[in-house]
């Protein structure tokens, strides 16, 4: 369910940015056509990550590589926001909240996925003893 929500948010947010460009960003000012073009380009990748999350959400137990890769990309995206803040200046409060989520989310999602994928070791030990 969690990956379905996360994937859906990524798809809706990415598609909105593809359609509206910079106007989809809270607090954004006018930018050049080049910057808007880049935003729309990268938004498609966000949609793609959302689609992968929806696909793998149905089989979260076996989707370790994809989920770990997407989690790593979320972390790197948060690092990129931090870099922008350091180089360009403080962003809108919403961007700061998103950055914190992007930096923290991998440290929640990856261990959660590993716990789900891990076989029940207590149950398998009990079966061995019973034999």
Q: Are 75 and 109 in contact (CB under 8 A)?
A: no
130, pLDDT greater than 50: no
Each residue's pLDDT tens digit, 56-107: 877 877 788 888 898 999 899 999 999 999 999 999 999 999 999 999 999 9
Rg (alpha carbons) of the chain, rounded to whole number: 19
Each residue's pLDDT tens digit, 33-59: 998 899 999 999 999 999 998 988 778
User: What is the pTM assigned to this prediction?
Assistant: 0.71
Per-residue pLDDT at 119: 58
Q: Are 13 and 49 in contact (CB under 8 A)?
A: no
């Amino acid at each position: 369910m969690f990956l379905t929500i996360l994937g859906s948010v990524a798809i809706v947010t990415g598609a909105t940015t593809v359609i509206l460009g910079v106007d989809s960003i809270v607090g954004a000012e006018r930018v050049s056509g080049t910057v808007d073009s880049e935003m729309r380009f990268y938004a498609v990748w966000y949609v793609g990550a959302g689609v992968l999350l929806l696909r793998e959400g149905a089989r979260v137990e076996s989707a370790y590589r994809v989920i770990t890769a997407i989690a790593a990309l979320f972390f790197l995206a948060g690092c990129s926001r931090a870099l922008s803040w350091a180089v360009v200046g403080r962003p809108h409060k919403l961007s700061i909240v998103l950055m914190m989520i992007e930096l923290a989310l991998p440290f929640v999602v990856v261990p959660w996925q590993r716990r789900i994928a891990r076989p029940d070791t207590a149950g398998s030990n009990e079966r061995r003893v019973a034999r």
